[in-house]
Amino acid sequence: MRPPPPATGATDASWEVQVAQAIAALLQRIDSLLPIMTSRPGGGLLARQLAAGGLVRCVRLIRAMLLLQTAYPDINGLLARNLWETSTLALYALLDDPAAHDPDATDDPTALDYLAGDLARNAKVLIERNDLGDLEELVASSGVEPARINLEDVARKLGPLLQKAGDPGAQVTDGYDLLYRSESTYGAIHGIRTMSPYAELTTEPWQLQFEPGPLTVARAIVHPALGALYTTILAQHVAQAFGIGTTQLDAPFTNLTALLNNRDDE
């Protein structure tokens, strides 16, 4: 399954209500799976437990977007970016096969080693810059090699992993380019674009005029809708790793996809 690209054009209230209902139906089905995603610690089960944690995070991010979409819709892009990041890394951790890596190669870490390395790198920076020297030995004793996650690289690697897992048309780089990169530019990373939505840009002459008051965002429901589709894909793979069937997700996923693809434009 692949979420469709965001549609363009205008929406009406009835369409947004239908989309909200479709999102709620998907979340209800996913919620029913979460209580049975449990397993004992150890035994090579870390990847699926980590991915299950990512699934819970994604569900909570969707619910937060639904709460914000009316009062503060301009914030939802930031949450959508985090959801894409979370679902992508969770799937990468889950689907990456450690046996496909050379254990003696320093430049070929498994997904779990990669994620652990990024945590170690950030912990090291926090310790050094906040005078937390008493924790330095703890991090060093983990034996984890510090690394920096490159999400574009992860997106390229995840497509073939999804294809191998049963989705022949899967690719993830579109999500990186269209959602993650755009929301990084307009909603998350510091810079002029995170401030300019609250001003009117003119080109003759070039200037920004501050516009106080609430910001109207067209199609605010699209962010949680896309998030629900990404989250459903993650839920299917996590449930499969736990040996849980997911046919109950098929109909609401298809319904939400159809709503996003078939919306009438004015």
For residue 257, CA distances in Å to 13, 16, 86, 191, 247 come to: 18, 13, 21, 33, 16
By the 8 A CB rule, do 51 and 161 touch?
no
Strands 206-210 and 199-203: antiparallel
Tell me the pLDDT of the chain (266 aa) as tens digits: 455 554 444 445 799 999 999 999 999 999 999 999 987 766 678 899 999 999 999 999 999 999 998 888 888 889 999 999 999 999 999 999 888 888 777 678 899 988 988 888 888 888 888 877 767 777 777 778 888 899 999 999 999 999 999 988 888 999 998 888 888 887 777 666 677 677 776 777 777 677 665 566 667 899 999 999 999 999 999 999 999 999 999 999 999 999 999 875 54
| Domain spans, the chain | 13-109+147-261
pTM for this predicted structure: 0.85
Count helices and strands in the chain by DSSP H and E runs:
10, 2
For residue 30, CA distances in Å to 25, 45, 50 come to: 9, 21, 17
Residue among 51, 48, 67, 90 nearest 243 (CA): 48
Calpha distance 156→176 (Å, rounded): 9
